[in-house]
Amino acid sequence: MNSFEWIWQYAKKNKNKLLLAVIFVVINAILIVIIPLLSGRIVDQVINQGKTEELIPILGI
């Protein structure tokens, strides 16, 4: 039995947990990109330019 067959047998038994793990990994990757972008916009537009009215739309509240 090669490694792929062993992994596939394990994955078939736990496909719900595996799918949930993949979903969380994708969400994590998206947040890793979005959080610094939002922080940059907050610093550039709200703090540096004093546009406090743009804080709520940037945060999506």
DSSP-derived secondary structure for the chain? --HHHHHHHHHHHTHHHHHHHHHHHHHHHHHHHHHHHHHHHIIIIIIIT--GGGHHHHHT-
Quick check: is 25 in a domain? no
Quick check: is 15 in a domain? no
Quick check: is 23 in a domain? no
Please state the domain count of the chain: 1
**pTM of the entire predicted model:** 0.64
Residue span of the structural domain in which 42 resides:
33-61
Residue range 3-60, pLDDT digits in tens:
888 888 888 888 999 999 999 999 999 999 999 999 999 999 998 998 888 888 888 8
